[in-house]
């Protein structure tokens, strides 16, 4: 897995929420066949409302472990509560800190002491400097393997959930010296923009993409409107790869 | 302490960070004399940068306990990491959840099971509905004593740190049925606006104020520009009380 | 009419759009009886969509002239296109520049040369310094009678149309030396918040209010949801006056 | 000049402000040699402060006319005050409406009656629907040749002047049926981001770019930090062309 500065582009793909194990296995195999380089999947879900699906927790971690064993794809999954860290570390090759926890300084300090890369998502109204400062909480603890992720900021525009701030990518790279990924799924919250925003992210110089894909998004228990269909993933990634290669880089 | 719907206005005042015990004692006595109804004080500080002062932690909790014993003022203090909950509960009469943790759902669920009121600050780019949903995480756990707090939202304006959204006060009250306080200190980040914004908060119908006061703000280890001087507190609160009483309410 | 620094509070009230003359006359008399100190009324309307009602133009100006003659109330009305200036000047005692024209520098320069006060509304995403700079376009032309008006800024919050930025009032006053009014109607776009926001505006130190009132708001051709009923105006203004007087000021 | 839906990408380039005629001629020739397809140049400048350079007006229009004669490049220039329309129409092949005038409905209606394409820039806090509605003011007047332009929205981020909202490009295209250009210069206000944002704009599907270029930007009377050096333009456009062609389109 290429992480920093090599020019290779990481593509982490997978379900918003890991639910039925068989579905996850089928999706994982499609992603592998399509060329994804990591498998993402949510076990613990940060939901606005307490009545929304909160994720399958440890069951989902077990499902991800099985998917990793079957496909060989490394796993990125979110840590939502620091008390779940040991469980998450058993499976994760990269721990995701979600936007809502970007300034959870207790969690950041704890992650500074683990031996696992951290994908730190920019909070949806954090400035660039605040995002870099959050990363600093981790690396000062001794864990220097931090990847930043732009996932959209909150603005006045109702046409999409968040406004993807692509100018942040080169500035975050310059100010932090860290690789910067882009999440083209959560920002718009609409499937029809995912490809175009993925291409724009590559063009602006992102080091990776983390994209949501599920077998049958309309029936998914979270983010039904924005996930790509796993059956379409290879076509999607083919287009992204075309641009990546035209820019002299490769997906790896 | 009046909390919900009685019409009385709570005024919680105190230091951003609790540091030297003697200073905290002097400040607490001045606040008591000036008419404050609760003592606020930060033991664990949520700071943007890891190199900023992170608070005195358990030492500060001990200082707050002493101030409470000497003055009789109930204590409100922030819980920054859920692993510190037992320590905080020994001292706090009200637990503050800061803006950065408003969507820390693990913490919210845990606080749903404690027997202590929670002051939940609106995240600085949370919508009103998201704020109410965060409160719902607590009350669904069984703890119905939640107070919301408007403390400013992030906008494009550089003249102050945050834009105090006073229209949110009546809407939050209506949608949640909970008391809503206002923090006139953090929003502007400027001492010269604290009184005016306190008056506006009372006029718009806030149920309480939580205001930062220190003995010598310019030497404080956090928020030097926005804290009131404790020597001026009685004058400040006198003006606030004038308006509170003109509106047929009282501070209690 | 009190304009600058005297401590008196101006209350300009009236219809969003001037439509049927008889309605305008009845509203104007109710406002006079209720204690308004100026009459506002829209002749030229800045509408987002070209298919929305654009105002009655010169007919409405004639209606305003008649209302002024009958009631003695001075008139404030919006100039939307600089080519209508001569017509507007025949009636207006104060020319309003709407938020969308705050940076229409051609219009501002032209208004610098007329002998009529200008009510300059802050654009809904203008910074404080940009607002003061817009006023400077007028006063550098020789017309120093400029009043600024805070009418809400655009944020991410869907519960109201705009977020009223009351902290801007004292800062605008300090940086410009000009009186600052508040529009409690357009910001929320909801009738139920107008009184509370008017009180907050007075508490924060506004020099005036400009509030929308119509006979039967639900049938009005613009802003049906936010205008007060003219039959309720005296009660509304009585409550505002109570606060104004409690703060040692008066409406005049 | 390709305008709508042909797949060709228009590149309009030139000075923020047209000042010394000889400089403009040299710049225009470099742009022609570098492959620009239109020449942009500001004659009337919308400036925040009245004391800033306001543009050379009619002199600058004459300079642009000469540049057009010498190079054959069609001209796009901003109309700032509707009273200057006749002068601007003598030179312009496309009239630019700046962000501050996007909702100047008098100007929009007037432009609905001219026989000249209009480049309508999105106001920096206009929603997508408001932008489309502004275009509708023009096309309802009979002028259907409207091009929209995304030039950055105002957010809380201080690292750049505006946040370029690239997701707006496909949505604006879909909702309006109009071509959508991107301004990669004004949004960031920094030269070092212009190329990367230009590439991202192409990748997301923009129909054109309008980019600021001057001979010696640090000495320019406006926007010194964001303009490209005209000597570097051919290299810049070569990189943009590489991506345009990799995506199966061409600059024309």
Q: Which three-class secondary structure state does DSSP give residue B195?
A: helix
pLDDT tens-digit profile of A21-37? 999 999 999 999 999 99
Q: Which three-class secondary structure state does DSSP give residue A102?
A: coil
State the Cα–Cα distance between residues A129 and A175, nearest whole angstrom. Answer: 8
pLDDT tens-digit profile of D132-165? 999 999 999 999 999 999 999 999 999 999 999 9
Q: Which three-class secondary structure state does DSSP give residue D146?
A: strand
Q: In chain A, what residues touch D204 (CB-CB under 8 Å)?
A: 196-197, 199-200, 203
State the Cα–Cα distance between residues B40 and B73, nearest whole angstrom. Answer: 9
Q: In chain C, what residues touch D49 (CB-CB under 8 Å)?
A: 133, 136
Q: In chain A, what residues touch B106 (CB-CB under 8 Å)?
A: 80-83
Which is nearest to D148 in space by CA: D160, D156, D130?
D130
State the Cα–Cα distance between residues A13 and A31, nearest whole angstrom. Answer: 7
Residue pair A15/A227 in contact by the 8 Å Cβ criterion: yes
Residue pair D125/D153 in contact by the 8 Å Cβ criterion: yes
Beta-carbon contacts below 8 Å between B and C:
115
Band of residue C3 on the pLDDT scale cut at 50, 70, 90: very low
Which is nearest to D70 in space by CA: D36, D25, D16, D19?
D25
In the predicted model, what is the mean pLDDT of residues C102-119? 97
To probe the interface with A, which of B50, B79, B110, B135 has the most A CB atoms within 10 Å? B50
Give the DSSP H/E element, type plus range, for residue C217: none
Q: Check C159 against B153: CB less than 8 A apart.
A: no
State the Cα–Cα distance between residues D107 and D138, nearest whole angstrom. Answer: 9
Residue D2: per-residue pLDDT? 37
State the Cα–Cα distance between residues D128 and D172, nearest whole angstrom. Answer: 6
In the predicted model, what is the mean pLDDT of residues D237-246? 96
Band of residue A3 on the pLDDT scale cut at 50, 70, 90: very low
Q: Which distant-in-sequence residues (6+ apart) come within 8 Å of A222 by Cβ?
A: A16, A17, A42, A45, A47, A52, A53
Q: Does the pLDDT value for residue A138 go beyond 70?
A: yes
Tokens of D246: 């990799």
Residue D3: per-residue pLDDT? 39
pLDDT tens-digit profile of D75-100? 999 999 999 999 999 999 999 999 99
Q: List average pLDDT for each run of 10 residues in chain B, which is 252 residues long.
A: 61 96 98 98 94 94 98 98 97 97 96 98 97 97 97 96 97 97 95 96 97 94 91 98 95 94
Q: In chain A, what residues touch C154 (CB-CB under 8 Å)?
A: 156
pLDDT tens-digit profile of C71-101? 999 999 999 999 999 999 999 999 999 999 9
Question: Which residues, listed in sequence order, are joined to residue A90 by a DSSP beta bridge?
Answer: none
Q: Check D127 against A170: CB less than 8 A apart.
A: no
State the Cα–Cα distance between residues A220 and A15, nearest whole angstrom. Answer: 9
Q: Check C81 against D82: CB less than 8 A apart.
A: yes
CB atoms within 10 A of CB D151: 21
| DSSP notation for D25-41 | HHHHHHHHHHT-SEEEE
Give the DSSP H/E element, type plus range, for residue C34: helix C21-34
Which is nearest to B78 in space by CA: B183, B155, B162?
B183
Residue pair A134/A108 in contact by the 8 Å Cβ criterion: yes
Structure letter (DSSP) for residue B120: E
Q: In chain A, what residues touch D160 (CB-CB under 8 Å)?
A: 167, 171
Interface of C with B (CB under 8 A): 125, 127-129, 153, 155-160, 163-171, 187-188, 192-193, 196-197, 199-205, 242-243, 246-247
Radius of gyration of chain A (CA): 16
Q: Does the pLDDT value for residue A1 go beyond 50?
A: no
pTM for this model (two decimals): 0.95
Alpha helices by DSSP H, listed for chain A, are 21-34, 58-71, 85-91, 105-111, 128-139, 168-176, 194-204, 233-246
Termini Cα distance of chain B: 7
pLDDT tens-digit profile of D162-191? 999 999 999 999 999 999 999 999 999 999
Q: Please, which chains are in contact with B (at least 3 CB pairs closer than 8 A)?
A: A, C, D
């Amino acid at each position: 897995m290429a992480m920093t500065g090599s020019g290779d582009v990481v593509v982490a793909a997978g379900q918003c929420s890991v639910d039925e194990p068989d579905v996850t296995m089928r999706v994982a195999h499609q992603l592998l066949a399509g060329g994804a380089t990591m498998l993402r999947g949510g076990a613990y879900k940060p939901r606005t409302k307490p009545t929304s699906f909160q994720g399958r927790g440890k069951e989902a971690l077990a499902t991800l472990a099985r998917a990793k064993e079957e496909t060989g794809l490394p796993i990125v999954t979110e840590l939502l509560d620091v008390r779940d860290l040991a469980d998450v570390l058993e499976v994760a090759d990269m721990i995701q800190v979600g936007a809502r926890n970007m300034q959870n300084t207790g969690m950041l300090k704890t992650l500074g002491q683990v031996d696992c890369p951290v994908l730190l998502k920019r909070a949806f109204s954090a400035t660039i400097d605040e995002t870099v400062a959050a990363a600093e909480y981790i690396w000062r603890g001794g864990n220097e393997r931090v990847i930043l992720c732009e996932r959209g900021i909150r603005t006045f525009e109702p046409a999409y959930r968040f406004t993807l701030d692509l100018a942040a990518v080169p500035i975050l790279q310059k100010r932090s010296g860290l690789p910067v990924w882009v999440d083209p799924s959560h920002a718009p919250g609409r499937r029809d923009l995912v490809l175009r925003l993925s291409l724009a992210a590559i063009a602006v110089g992102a080091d990776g993409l983390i994209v949501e894909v599920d077998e049958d998004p309309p029936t998914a228990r979270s983010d039904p409107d924005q996930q790509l269909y796993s059956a379409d993933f290879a076509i999607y990634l083919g287009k992204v790869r075309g641009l990546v290669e035209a820019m002299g880089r490769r997906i790896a």
